[in-house]
A and B are shown apart, each in its own frame.
Chain A
Amino acid sequence: MLRFFAAFLLITFGVSCKDLFQYNPNEVRLEEKDQNMNAKNIQKLQALPQRDSFKFIVIGDSQRFYEDLDEFVDNVNGLNDEIAFVLLNGDISDFGLNREFIWINAILKKLKYPYIGVIGNHDMLANGRLIYNKMFGAEDFTFEYSGSKFICLNTNSYEVGHDGSIPDLPWLQQEVNDLAGYKNAFIFSHVPPFDNEFDPSKKNRFFEILGAASHKVRLSIHGHQHKYSLFLPKENELEYLVVSTIYKRNYALITVIDNTYRVEQKFF
């Protein structure tokens, strides 16, 4: 009897200890439930009914602001609006560590809505890139919903010392060329093209690619600057939106109605 009791104690101790084992802060170790989140959530989004008008939420820079992110989740879960998805526009983590990604994902999992993660510069620290790839998936990817195409890409050029690999503009060009059959397109990336940390040799080309497709590309949405702003560099072309950090307790709510959109900054 005593032996059974001891075994029981040992097993419960072992199970509760599972999360206590860490072999190095820089390890890349995720359970299945924390893997391929973008693919899993895009699947959920695809299962939603298609609508002529829908809303989505963009937040930025959740790095080390777990409490604010938690309150954001509670807040938007209480909205009566039909939200198609929530997108976290980079700087998911602060130090690029495995545990940080796990903590953020545990909070985002409480969302009623599908959620998408885009890579930020802090997510490329240490082994962050490997962790992002394992938890969320590819750094450049697209998804679609109700006739709109969403193009997400890595623009954290500084992290690779402006070596020319980031952002992948030929890929962007290819995705922007392929907009037949879509009413709208939205671009998401962490570092805005007008930021100092965007590869200066690629800046103009980025504006050109999007500008040339502005009959379909409605809005290019970024983060990184921790300050909300909406910017129209050229008349008759597309607007550039920078979402604030979750720490400043606000988010961007975008309403898409047919081929028009409306941006609102919401506080919580």
Chain B
Amino acid sequence: MRLLQSLITPIELSRNFSKRIALSFLFCFTSMWYANGQDSVRRQKHWAFPDHAIIQFAGGIGYVSVGAGYTARKEKLKLVLLYGYVPESIGGLPIHAATAQLKWMPLKPFRFKNFELQSLVTGLLVNYTFGKQYFAFSPEYYPFNYYGHPTSIHAGILAGSEIYTLPKKNKKIKQWGLYYELVSYDVELVSYFGNTQTLSFKDVLSLGFGIRMRI
């Protein structure tokens, strides 16, 4: 545990450093996308190249979040990495966060006309908020792990649906998808399950909308 702590705390020491990580993370994907677009000859994509890009509003991960994802297991599994930003005018202070989502689509999509509806998207997510006021382990001046829970990292569950166009192979953006998702974090769930008479499940949900582009 101590070793883990020593690995994580230096990242939290400098806010600028954290910001730099977030930006390089973003830059990595955009440059990869750009580089891929430069190819005149269509060829097999590098395995690390994401197959879709995302822009999302709200959903507990940022006011606006941008990200990229990978699809596996015949569209049944998705891994999405996002960078979320909340401006000071909305969140009281500027907030930068990174989120990883693992989505599982257990049902077959419904097809109608040129669209498909994926009625159930379930998943898990981990959100990391950058900033020196948040910690993964209680700071050194406390007895070890005094609070027993991190404030920079929150895990959560998600559920939602998505409607998307049928894929077109020869377009730059092969497919457009529109989705919503409901997220609930660990700290919220633990609050809800201890107080089911006073809190309603709606109180611990965060709603988000997003656009997914297959590239």
> Hey, which bits of chain A sit against chain B, CB under 8 A?
17, 19-29, 64-67, 69-70, 94-97, 99-100, 103, 107, 125-127, 130-131, 134, 158, 161-162
B211: CB under 8 A from chain A? no
B207 (CB) vs chain A CBs: closest residue: A20
Q: A24-B84, A29-B90, A70-B197 are in contact. Are A19 and B203 (CB under 8 A)?
A: yes
- Expressed in whole angstroms, the Cα–Cα distance for A130 and B203 within the complex equals 22
Not counting A19-B203, A24-B60, a sample of 15 additional A-B residue pairs whose C-beta atoms are within 8 angstroms of each other reads A20-B182, A23-B58, A23-B60, A23-B95, A24-B84, A24-B86, A24-B91, A24-B97, A25-B127, A29-B91, A95-B151, A126-B133, A126-B134, A130-B93, A161-B139
Contact B92 A64 (CB under 8 A): no
- Expressed in whole angstroms, the Cα–Cα distance for A19 and B58 within the complex equals 12
B13: CB under 8 A from chain A? no
What number of residue pairs across chains A and B have CB atoms under 8 A from each other?
Answer: 109
Task: Please give, as numbers and ranges, the residues of chain B lying within 8 Å of A70 by CB-CB distance.
Answer: 197-198
Contact A21 B86 (CB under 8 A): no
- CB < 8 Å: which of A20, A66, A97 contacts B202? A20
Measured between C-beta atoms, what is the minimum distance from B208 to chain A in Å? 8
- Expressed in whole angstroms, the Cα–Cα distance for A20 and B57 within the complex equals 12
Task: Please give, as numbers and ranges, the residues of chain A lying within 8 Å of B58 by CB-CB distance.
Answer: 21-23
Contact B191 A127 (CB under 8 A): no
Q: A23-B62, A25-B187, A67-B197 are in contact. Are A17 and B92 (CB under 8 A)?
A: no
- Expressed in whole angstroms, the Cα–Cα distance for A38 and B78 within the complex equals 47
A28 (CB) vs chain B CBs: closest residue: B92
Contact A126 B139 (CB under 8 A): no
Task: Please give, as numbers and ranges, the residues of chain B lying within 8 Å of A19 by CB-CB distance.
Answer: 202-203
> Interface of chain A, helix or strand or loop or mixed?
loop
Task: Please give, as numbers and ranges, the residues of chain B lying within 8 Å of A25 by CB-CB distance.
Answer: 60, 127, 129, 154, 185, 187-188
In which size bucket is the chain B interface?
35 or more
Q: A20-B206, A21-B207, A99-B203 are in contact. Are A66 and B60 (CB under 8 A)?
A: no
Measured between C-beta atoms, what is the minimum distance from A121 to chain B in Å? 9
Measured between C-beta atoms, what is the minimum distance from B131 to chain A in Å? 8
B194 (CB) vs chain A CBs: closest residue: A64
> What per-residue 1/0 map shows which CB atoms of B9-44 lie under 8 Å from chain A?
000000000000000000000000000000000000
Contact A26 B151 (CB under 8 A): yes
- Expressed in whole angstroms, the Cα–Cα distance for A161 and B199 within the complex equals 34
B100-108, B141-149, B163-171 - the one binding chain A:
B141-149
Contact B203 A103 (CB under 8 A): yes
Contact B141 A134 (CB under 8 A): no
B63: CB under 8 A from chain A? yes
- CB < 8 Å: which of A29, A67, A95 contacts B195? A67
Q: A26-B151, A161-B141 are in contact. Are A103 and B207 (CB under 8 A)?
A: no
Q: A25-B60, A64-B194 are in contact. Are A95 and B187 (CB under 8 A)?
A: yes
Measured between C-beta atoms, what is the minimum distance from A101 to chain B in Å? 12
